[in-house]
Amino acid sequence: MQDIIKVTGLTKKFDRFPAVNELSFSVQEGDVYGFLGQNGAGKSTTIRMLLTLIAPTKGEIELFGKKLQGNKHEVLSQIGAVIEKPDVYKYLSAYENLKLFAKLSDKKITHQQLMDQLEMVGLAQRAKDKVKTFSQGMKQRLGIAIALVHDPKLIILDEPTNGLDPQGIADIRNLILHLSRDRNKTIVVSSHLLTEIEHVATKVLIIDRGRKLVEGTAAELFDPSQTIIELDTFDNASGLAKLQSSRWNTMLQPSREGLIVVKLDKKDTPALNRYLVENGIEILSLQPRHSLEDYFLQITSGKQHVEAFTN
Partner 1 sequence: MWKLLQIELFKIYRRPRTYIAFGAITAMIAIIQLGLKVDGKEYMEFVMADLGSTFSFEGNLLNGYFVCFVLLNLLLIHVPLLISLIAADMISGEANMGTLRLLLTKPISRTEFILAKFFASAIYTLTLLIWLAVLALFVSIAVFGTDDMFVMKNYYAVQISADDVFWRYVGAFGFAALAMITVAALGFFLSLFAENSIGPIVATISVIIVTTILSTMSIPLFNAIKPYLFTTHMVTWKEFFDEKVDAENNVIKGTIENPDRIITSVIVLSLHIVAFVGASIWVFKKKDVLS
* Per rule CB under 8 A, count of chain residues that contact partner 1: 31
Please give the DSSP secondary-structure letter assigned to residue 224: T
Quick check: 91 binds partner 1 (CB under 8 A)?
A: yes
Binding mask 209-248 for partner 1 (x = CB under 8 A): ----------------------------------------
Binding mask 143-182 for partner 1 (x = CB under 8 A): x--x------------------------------------
Strands 32-36 and 203-208 turn out to be parallel
35, 7 contact by CB (below 8 A): no
Distance from chain centroid for Cα 180: 15
Alpha helices, H only, 80-193: 94-103, 111-120, 136-148, 166-181
Binding mask 118-147 for partner 1 (x = CB under 8 A): -------------------------x--x-
Minimum Å distance from CB 85 to partner 1?
6
Alpha-carbon span 307 to 279, nearest angstrom:
29
Q: Which of 9, 67, 104, 135 binds partner 1 (CB under 8 A)?
A: 104
Cα of first residue to Cα of last residue in the chain, in angstroms, is 19
Minimum Å distance from CB 129 to partner 1?
15
Q: Quick one: which segment of 61-69, 76-84, 240-248, 295-303 binds partner 1 (CB under 8 A)?
A: 76-84
Cα distances (Å, whole numbers) of residue 92 to 18, 74, 124, 268: 39, 29, 15, 61
Quick check: 199 binds partner 1 (CB under 8 A)?
A: no
Q: Which residues pair with 14 in a beta bridge?
A: 17
Quick check: 297 binds partner 1 (CB under 8 A)?
A: no
Quick check: 48 binds partner 1 (CB under 8 A)?
A: yes
